[in-house]
């Protein structure tokens, strides 16, 4: 289908490049990110204790997500940051294996499975967490990372795919490779730098990128360009 030189709109430059590489085709391409429901995922002042050490992961747990690397990293985290807690929400084929690994690594006092959450519950967990952690082998965009940023929550995430296009030093840390040591080091780096993150600004910047109104403008602009092309 890509050989027909029809215009293509994708959610990230990374996905657009992958389609071009896969299809070996030449076609007009436009990038319009996913919409985040900013009526739910938004900044709300939260009375966190200064010693708050709650971190969060949420996903539909299946490949290419890799929560197991983070669990292995948490074996190291708990020795350096004994008060650090990792809450894991979500569901999926990896869920039972997650539970088994928590027991195998003796992390029951440091890692907690909090189960399936609705959107309001996810937003609440994000706002009360020190950071959102996301380890994945591939992401076309990563809605959940964008949702965390809209809540004002810094993100510690794999440096892959579309994530690289909106997570940066102002709102989080990109982890160079998916290894326990790299995630461990990034979490320690974040702990050192956490006081410098402006959660309200993180939210304002993310909402400006991903709100329905602003994405609608981007999509309309892309469509105007598409219909001006002779296909």
Query: What is d(CA 124, CA 108) in angstroms, rounded to the nearest whole number?
Result: 23
SS3 115: strand
**Percent of the chain's residues with pLDDT above 90:** 91
* Per-residue pLDDT reduced to its tens digit, 70-86: 999 999 999 999 999 99
- 97-111 residue pLDDT tens: 999 999 999 999 999
d(CA 132, CA 9): 28
**CA distances in angstroms from 197 to 19, 81, 148, 200, listed in the order given:** 35, 19, 14, 9
The conformation of residue 217, written as its DSSP 8-state character, comes to H
Is residue 204 helix, strand or coil?
helix
């Amino acid at each position: 289908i890509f050989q027909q030189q029809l215009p293509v709109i994708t959610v990230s430059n990374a996905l657009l490049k992958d389609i071009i590489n896969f299809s070996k085709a030449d076609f007009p391409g436009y990038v319009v990110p996913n919409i985040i429901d900013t009526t739910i995922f938004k900044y709300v002042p939260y009375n966190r204790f200064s010693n708050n050490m709650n971190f969060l992961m949420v996903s539909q747990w299946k490949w290419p997500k890799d929560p197991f690397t983070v669990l292995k990293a948490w074996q190291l985290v708990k020795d350096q940051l004994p008060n650090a807690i990792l809450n894991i929400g979500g569901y999926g084929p990896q869920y039972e294996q997650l539970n088994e690994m928590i027991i195998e690594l003796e992390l029951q006092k440091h890692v907690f499975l909090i189960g399936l959450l609705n959107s309001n519950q996810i937003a609440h967990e994000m706002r009360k967490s020190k950071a959102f952690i996301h380890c994945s082998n591939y992401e076309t965009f990563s809605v959940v990372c964008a949702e965390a940023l809209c809540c004002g929550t810094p993100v510690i995430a794999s440096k892959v795919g579309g994530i690289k296009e909106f997570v940066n030093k102002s709102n989080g840390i990109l982890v160079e490779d998916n290894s326990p040591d790299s995630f461990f080091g990034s979490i320690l780096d974040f702990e050192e730098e956490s006081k410098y993150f402006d959660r309200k600004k993180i939210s304002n910047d993310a909402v400006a990128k991903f709100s329905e109104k602003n994405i609608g403008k981007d999509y309309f602009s892309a469509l105007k360009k598409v219909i001006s092309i002779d296909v």
